[in-house]
Amino acid sequence: GESVGLHLPTLSVQEGDNSIINCAYSNSASDYFIWYKQESGKGPQFIIDIRSNMDKRQGQRVTVLLNKTVKHLSLQIAATQPGDSAVYFCADSYTGNQFYFGTGTSLTVIP
Amino acid sequence: GAGVSQSPSNKVTEKGKDVELRCDPISGHTALYWYRQSLGQGLEFLIYFQGNSAPDKSGLPSDRFSAERTGGSVSTLTIQRTQQEDSAVYLCASSFGFGRGGYEQFFGPGTRLTVL
């Protein structure tokens, strides 16, 4: 079965520092990956996605890196702000329909 | 524009009762997903609808769970004879389409179900 997992369940960073959240997936056929942010009491919110034909994609203060060789995905947040405190999920898809989510990493930004 | 809405936001029920959870997707979105999120856990896929195609029910945990999508829009997730282990947040998401390569899913705020 599909397995998407995160290396660290919690992460604390100082405001202004860069954050790196990691994710591993098990299915080499996965071809689409998404990072979501979930704040307390809310549904997940899309941050950034990447397709398997890319190894890097940048957004506003966020960068996703994909290493298909080791089936690893990471989310980098530059100049982390208190508003970035949330749980971050990675998800992958190889059917194009079903998405498999990891258990999440809780990011806490220390002012 | 309006996002995905879900109702009720909270539902408390007694063990053995049936519950219905509603999802209103974003207008024009052809794909609709239901997920379950237990406390401190990731999202567990339940069911997926795409247009008029037969739904993908492979994630439903038991035959007590069922879902419908009427007119390609509103969806209802029904849980019969609820059990305490059904307590979770039920999330609905919609997207423009499907297929390999994926499409961004927009999530609703969820319905928190508590079974006493």
pLDDT in tens, B90-116: 999 998 876 555 678 899 999 999 999
d(C-alpha A68, C-alpha A96), whole Å = 18
Alpha-carbon dihedral sign for residues B37, B43, B44, B49: positive
- Between CA A52 and CA A54 the distance in angstroms is 5
Strands (E), chain A: 4-5, 10-14, 19-25, 32-38, 45-51, 56-58, 62-67, 72-77, 86-93, 100-101, 105-110
Predicted confidence at residue B110, as pLDDT, reads: 95
CB contacts of B98 in chain A (<8 Å) are 96-97
pLDDT for res B64:
97
Indicate the helix (H) or strand (E) that contains B112. Answer: strand B111-115
A7: confidence class by pLDDT, cuts 50, 70, 90: very low
Q: Give the separation between CA A87 and CA B41, rounded to whole angstroms.
A: 10
Class of residue B101 by CB neighbours under 10 A (exposed 0-12, middle 13-18, buried 19+): middle
Interface of B to A at Cβ within 8 Å reads 4, 31, 33, 35, 40-45, 48, 50, 56, 58-59, 91, 93, 98-102, 104-110
**Nearest CB to B109; choose among A42, A91, A96:** A42
Give the DSSP letter of residue A108. E
Q: Cβ(A18)–Cβ(A77) under 8 Å?
A: yes
Q: What is the pLDDT of residue A2?
A: 39
Q: Does position A96 have pLDDT exceeding 80, yes or no?
A: no
Stretches in chain B below the pLDDT threshold 70: 1, 98-102
Q: Is the pLDDT of residue A77 over 60?
A: yes
Is B50 close to A91, i.e. CB distance below 8 A? Answer: no
DSSP H helix total and E strand total for chain B: 0, 10
Rounded to whole angstroms, the Cα distance separating B12 from B18 reads 11
Q: Collapsing DSSP states into helix, strand and coil, what is residue B77?
A: strand
Share of chain A above pLDDT 70, in %: 91
The Cα of B42 is separated from the nearest Cα of chain A by a number of Å equal to: 4
What pLDDT sits at residue A103?
80
Determine, for residues A99 and B102 on separate chains, whether the beta-carbon distance falls below 8 Å.
Answer: yes
